[in-house]
């Protein structure tokens, strides 16, 4: 029988494996695309909203479970004790569980397309899933070449937000671009920050993440650049009246950006100190995207 301290350690590992806060990356594009649609039409299709939210969460479960399966195959996760595959020792089972989540998620999207009698949303989400697979699955494993960040930006920015907007109004509009760029930027920052503490394991497994390529010091400067770009795009879009002025509420996320930049600058090469930095980036993403949407609705 496991001792009390062993079971506390195990529940900590399971909590780290589930990564609950990370699921805001699935929720926010749907929230933002829907908020822009409501601001423009004054209407909301609750069925589409609910189905899309549920589907996006299921697709993210697939992405994360299958990531653990594929990373177990390359050996890159051998020190990742909170990998679901390492915790259960059941790679096959996790693989099939991940596929069931993908299937259920896609069924939700099929239901939206059926309600709309239009396959556009399904096409956009299938493209996201194909790109998500190419990030981690064989034979592509584009993340190992350092291509995860552009893929992440395209999927969680323009593609997901266009799909969410289309699921409400059944048309496209250039008005989604600022929120697509802003949400894409902060989601990509999460992925970028997740690489800092993994440099040694990534190098050993031949994964050339952007942080491996640039080195941790220059990568930490890039975090400042990305945050500067985020607030620059926000201010410029409001100044040019592309975004409504209440979206300036998103400036309230600034303390998280400052905290993230300072922590990365100070500890970029100390894995133990920055292993949770991606969750600081998650806070920045959550508050900025939530408040951008609120700003649209005010
Ligand atoms: C699984 C992801 C990152 C984990 O990467 P890594 O292997 O370095 O981390 P571990 O240390 O935890 O093993 C995220 C990858 C994101 C990917 C580039 C793009 C995914 C696109 C999604 C399918 C889009 C879903 C959109 C939805 C809202 C409809
Ligand atoms: O586990 C992770 O590091 C990430 C999981 C995930 O689903 C995600 C989604 C979008 C951007 C980054 C990330 C991760 O970093």
d(CA 208, CA 157): 23
pLDDT digits (tens, 9 = 90+) for 59-93: 999 999 999 999 999 999 999 999 999 999 999 99
**pLDDT tops 80 at residue 58:** yes
d(CA 231, CA 29): 18
d(CA 180, CA 177): 5
Around ligand 1, the residues with Cβ closer than 6 Å are 26, 29, 56, 59, 63-64, 67, 71, 77, 80, 125, 128-129, 131-132, 135, 148, 151-152, 155, 160, 191, 194, 198
d(CA 198, CA 143): 13
- pLDDT computed for residue 6 by the predictor: 67
Q: Ligand 1 centroid vs 290 CA: distance in angstroms?
A: 20
pTM exceeds cut of 0.95: yes
d(CA 105, CA 124): 14
Number of residues in the chain: 298
**pLDDT tops 60 at residue 267:** yes
Average confidence score pLDDT of the chain:
96
Nearest atom (ligand 2) to Cα of 64: 7
pLDDT digits (tens, 9 = 90+) for 201-240: 999 999 999 999 999 999 999 999 999 999 999 999 999 9
d(CA 207, CA 30): 31
What ipTM describes this predicted complex?
A: 0.98
Q: Please tell me if the CB atom of residue 84 comes closer than 6 angstroms to any atom of ligand 2.
A: no
* Ligand 1 site-directed mutation target among 152, 157, 183, 219, most atoms within 8 Å of CB: 152
Q: Ligand 1 centroid vs 215 CA: distance in angstroms?
A: 22
Q: Please tell me if the CB atom of residue 181 comes closer than 6 angstroms to any atom of ligand 2.
A: no
3-state SS, residue 275: coil
* Ligand 1 site-directed mutation target among 110, 135, 186, most atoms within 8 Å of CB: 135
Say how many C-beta atoms besides its own lie within 10 A of residue 67's C-beta: 20
Instruction: Taking each helix axis as running N to C, give the angle between helix 177-194 and helix 216-239, from 0 to 180 degrees, rounded to the nearest 10.
Output: 170
d(CA 110, CA 207): 35
């Amino acid at each position: 029988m496991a001792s009390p301290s062993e079971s506390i350690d195990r529940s900590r590992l399971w909590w780290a494996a589930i990564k609950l806060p990370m699921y805001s990356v699935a929720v926010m594009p749907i929230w933002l695309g829907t908020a822009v649609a409501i601001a423009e039409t004054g209407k909301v299709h609750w069925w589409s909203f609910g189905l899309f939210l549920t589907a996006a969460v299921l697709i993210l479960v697939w992405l994360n479970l299958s990531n653990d399966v594929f990373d177990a195959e390359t050996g890159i996760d051998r020190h990742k004790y909170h990998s679901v595959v390492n915790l259960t020792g059941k790679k096959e089972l996790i693989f099939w569980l991940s596929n069931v989540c993908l299937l259920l998620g896609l069924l939700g999207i099929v239901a939206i397309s059926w309600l709309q009698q239009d396959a556009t949303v399904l096409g956009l989400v299938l493209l996201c899933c194909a790109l998500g697979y190419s990030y981690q699955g064989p034979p592509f494993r584009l993340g190992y070449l350092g291509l995860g960040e552009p893929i992440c930006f395209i999927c969680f920015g323009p593609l997901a937000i266009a799909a969410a907007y289309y699921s409400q109004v059944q048309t496209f509009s250039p008005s989604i671009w600022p929120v697509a760029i802003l949400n894409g930027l902060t989601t990509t920052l999460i992925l970028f920050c997740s690489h800092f503490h993994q440099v040694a394991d990534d190098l050993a497994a031949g994964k050339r993440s952007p942080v491996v390529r640039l080195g941790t010091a220059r990568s930490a400067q890039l975090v400042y650049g990305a945050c500067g770009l985020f607030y620059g795009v926000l201010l410029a879009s409001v100044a040019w009246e592309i975004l409504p002025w209440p979206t300036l509420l998103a400036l309230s996320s600034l303390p998280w950006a400052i905290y993230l930049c300072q922590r990365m600058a100070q500890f970029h090469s100390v894995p133990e100190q920055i292993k949770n930095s991606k969750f600081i980036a998650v806070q920045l993403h959550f508050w900025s995207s939530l408040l951008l949407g609120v700003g649209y609705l005010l």
